[in-house]
Amino acid sequence: MEVRDHVIVVGFGRIGQNLIKFLRQEGFDYVGLDLDPVLVREAYEAGERVFYGDATHVEILRAAGLKRAKALVITLPESHTAEKIILSARNRNPDIPIVVRTDDDLHLEELENAGATLVVPENLESSMMLASHLLKHLDVPTEEVMRLVENARNDHYHSLRGYFHGMEPESVEEAVSELYRLHTVVIAQGCVNIGKRISDLNLDAIDIRITAIRRGNIRGEDPEPDTVLQQGDALVLEGNLEALEQAKNFLLSGT
């Protein structure tokens, strides 16, 4: 493959094929890789530059022109496979931009640590896309909508990653135990933490963040560290399942 300045697209399913359409419109060449022989044959016969190959093997990436490529995009849903591809690609071409699509944000940090330039969690991007369309219909200026979206991306989606999970099936609960989630703790009468400042709680030591406090009918986002806790305060905590359990026990019992 003597193509150069191209984009290597790993995973030639619907997402990969739609991505190709945009690349083609802007004049970028590409090489697609996939492990579905029927898909590869049909697409190749239709004139697409797509080949059968396992991109976790550096020889396949080398044959796809990794050294000469402008970027590498991984559209596979399996994060562990994507991580292997990233590591293989980085060994061969340390400077190539690598963009990875994932179903969710469960392994976002692992993929970034492996060497991904950009990780795009589909669940969070879908939320932002829905919000963008809605805000535009509500006559929010396009520039403001773009600012909100870019802020979320620049913050590595941090503001979107925690949410209230509710009652989930046990299998799902186990699968997402490391996901950031939200949990509300109400400071009851007699709690030993009444009168303490948020900074005194040292919750960041267990990777817990207080995202908001509701006091009466007033809700405050991102409370200041010197905020003093009062009886009846509802603290909105963000963290993973284990850390939230620790924080809840500490806040309610002081231990």
For residues 184 and 244, the answer to whether their CB atoms sit within 8 Å is no
Domain boundaries in the chain? 7-116, 125-158, 170-253
DSSP string, 178-239: TS-EEEEEE--TT-TTTT-BHHHH-GGGGT-EEEEEEETTEEEES--TTPBP-TT-EEEEEE
| Residues 160-199 pLDDT 10s | 777 776 765 544 444 455 567 888 999 988 888 999 999 9
CATH topology of domain 7-116: Rossmann fold (3.40.50)
pTM of the model: 0.71
The whole-number pLDDT of residue 172 equals 47
The whole-number pLDDT of residue 7 equals 97
Give SS3 for 129: helix
The whole-number pLDDT of residue 240 equals 86
| Residues 53-103 pLDDT 10s | 999 999 999 999 999 999 999 999 899 999 999 999 999 999 999 999 998
CATH number of 170-253: 3.30.70.1450
What CA–CA distance (Å, rounded) separates 44 from 62? Answer: 20
Give SS3 for 10: strand
